[in-house]
Structures are given as C-alpha cells and as structure tokens.
Amino acid sequence: MRLAANSLSGPVEDVAGQAGHREHPPRMGFFTDTSVCIGCKACEVACKEWNEVPEDGLNLLGMSMDNTGSLGASSWRHVAFIEQPRRLARHDAGIAGLPVGPSGTEATAGIVESALRRAPRGGGELGTSPYEPGHVPAVPLADGPERTDFRWLMMSDVCKHCTHAACLDVCPTGALVRTEFGTVVVQQDICNGCGYCVSACPFGVIDRRPGDGRAHKCTLCYDRLRGGLEPACAKACPTSSIQYGELDALHERARGRLEALRASGVAEARLYGEDATDGVGGCGAFFLLLDEPAVYGLPSTPVVASRDLPAMWKAAGVAALGLLAAALSAFMEPRER
C-alpha cells in the first residue's frame, strides 16, 4: 500500500479516486440547511422506512420535541431541538408580556443530563436501544424570569461521510468502504462487530446494534443512488432543509445561502463541515448552523485520529525497543547468588 499525499488527513481532491475507484461519478453529499428546518422529522421516518431500520425505543426524553436523542445504530437521521430565549434576526416571537417562563432547554438540561449519566451506557443508548430516563419532574414554565424573545433551533443530523473517515480507516475487516460516490458504507455481510469504528468516529455517529451485533449507520441510501434516486430523507424533506447533490454544487449553494442569511441580520449563521482544511478533511454531509456546533451536540473541532497515526506508531516503536532492551539487560546482569 502506497501512502499518497494527504492520505491520512488534509484536503483531498478526489476521494473516490484515492480509494481506488477509476471511473466514478462526482462526489455526492448532503447540505442540511438548519435555518429552514421545521422539525417535522419526515427525514427520520423516511430513513427508517426505506432502510428498514428497527425501532430504537419509544421514550420521552425531556429534550424539547426530540425523543430520538442522538444518531445511533438505529437512528440514521436525528432531528435536534433547542429552545433559546433569544431573537432570530428581526423575527418577533410575539410572546412579550405573556406568562412564559424560562427556556425549556435551560430548565430541563440539568435534569436530562443527570438522568443520562445514570443510564448503563451513560446515555449511549440514545438512538440505538431503549432508554428509560426515570422520573423527569415537570418544569413549571410559568415560574422564573419572563421571556421576551424566543427561537427554536432544529437540525437534522446525519453521518458526515468524512473525507478522512476514521471509522473506515480503523475497520479491520474491510466492512466499511468508500463508494464510487465518495460516501462511506458498512457492508453488513462483512462486519464482525469488533466495535472499533464506534470509538473512532469523532462525531459519535456509528454504533453497534445490540442483538444484531453489527455496526450500523447512514448509507446515504447507496441503493437509491445506484438507481439514480435521491436519498429517502432528502426526498421526504418538505422544506428542502436537506439538499442532496454534487458536493461542489452544494458548497456553492451553501455559501450563497449563508450570505443571504447574514445580509438579513442572522449574523450567527455559519457553515459546519464544509472546510476541506478541517480535522477530517471536510465532510460529504455538511450543515448551515445558527449557533455553536456544541449547542447541537456536535464536536467543535473534530479530528480524524489517523492524522497522528505515524507519530503513534513511532512512540510504540520506541516503547517496544525499550521493552526489548529491558529484557536483554535483565539477563545481562551478573547472576544473583
């Protein structure tokens, strides 16, 4: 195996080509524009239906309207809901003077967080298997400081189909592959459930499904793409919050949308995952966000661990030589009497 330029990190011109595809279509991806998401969860449903993704537990989580909680082995699209006591550009929420209490997110976050910590997998159950939050006390919204502004952020999260996909790098069976479209897919007949990809993904996307034992995540509807169709979620999205297409064209469109939003006063709008110089070489699925990535549960500076792999092996080599030397010298000392 020859190591080409930027094979472990950094920008890559032709991802599918680097993976060995000769004749291949352009790189395809998602642009998820969260500024127009209405939280209908049609994407979640369409994905489950098309991909026959099993139920991940029917639980009330206390996370605003989000009762999925996270991407996981059995949730390949996840709509996040964040309630904030602030104004979106020039919008008038129409609640000034009304008896509304504190933001739901602020009030419930602490309760939800401590319930998550108590779960057997520390909340890793979300999106994968049933999770019982226990008793979540009702928050009396009439109490507390009155709000004059309100905005509700919604974001449909998905596998990022990274340029440098850590999950793919570490997979020891070759189950995870780069497709001709530049997307990242698990071959279910190969995966032996070693779980390495789960710990490698810097976005917390892929997970192992209990009972089934294999790793599962978004395939960017590989089968539909092969048939010339768009992915099920993009097809179902009624507001075009989820846009599917050639990645280059999507980048163009996203930059235009960002400019338009900023011009109309949404100064906090930003793109996430479109930058080819970021820690994963840019994402095949990128987003327009209205707050810091951390607010949506995204890592603020995701990095593919393979970036440092040569340095890690170097350290391991030194340590291994040290062990050899220690063993040698243990025998070289004069024998004790």
Partner 1 sequence: MSTTNGRDARAERGPAGASARERRGAPQDGSAEMAMVARARPASYYGRAVLKPPVWGEDIAYYFFLGGLSAGASLLAVGADQTGRSALRRGGRLGALGSLGLGMFFLVKDLGRPERFHHMLRVAKLTSPMSVGTWILSAYGAACGMAAAAEVWPKRLAPRPAGRLLAATGRPAGLAAGLLAPVVAAYTAVLLADTAVPAWNAARRELPFVFTASAAASAGGLGMIVAPPSEAAPARRLAQYGAIVELAASRRLEARREVALEPYLFGNAGRLLNRASALTAAGVLGSMLAGRRSRVAAVASGAALLAGGMYERLGILRAGVASTTDPRYVNGG
- Helix (H, G, I), strand (E, B), or coil: what is residue 114? helix
Count of chain residues binding ligand SF4 (CB under 6 A): 27
Tell whether residue 173 is a contact of partner 1 (CB under 8 A). Answer: yes
**Contacted by 27, from partner 1, ligand SF4, none: CB < 5 to 8 Å by type:** none
Q: Quick one: what does residue 159 bind among ligand SF4, partner 1, none, with the CB cut-off 5 to 8 Å set by partner type?
A: ligand SF4
Q: Return d(Cα 286, Cα 267) in angstroms, integer.
A: 19
Q: Which residue has the tokens 């549960």?
A: 297
Considering only 6, 8, 246, 276, the residue that binds partner 1 (CB under 8 A) is: 8
Any idea how long the chain is?
Answer: 337
Distance CA 188, CA 274 (A): 29
Q: Which residues contact 91 (CB under 8 A, 6 or more apart)?
A: 151
How far, in Å, CA of 242 to CA of 156, rounded?
Answer: 8
Q: Determine, following the binding rule CB under 6 A, whether residue 199 of this chain makes contact with ligand SF4.
A: no
Site for partner 1 in 306-325 (CB under 8 A): 306, 308-309, 311-313, 315-324
- Select the residue interacting with partner 1 from 36, 141, 276, 295 (CB under 8 A): 295
- Name which of 95, 281, 127 is nearest 218 in CA terms: 127
186 binds, among ligand SF4, partner 1, none (CB under 5 to 8 A by kind): ligand SF4
Site for ligand SF4 in 82-141 (CB under 6 A): none
Number of neighbouring beta carbons within 10 Å of residue 39: 17
Residues between 106 and 125 that touch partner 1 (CB under 8 A): 106, 108-110, 112-114, 116-117, 121-124
| Burial of 40: CB neighbours in 10 Å, binned 0-12, 13-18, 19+ | middle
CA 121, chain centre distance (Å)? 18
- Binders of ligand SF4 among 158-197, rule CB under 6 A? 159-162, 165-167, 170-171, 173, 175-176, 184, 186, 191-197
Residues in contact with ligand SF4 by CB under 6 A are: 159-162, 165-167, 170-171, 173, 175-176, 184, 186, 191-197, 201, 203, 205-206, 215, 217
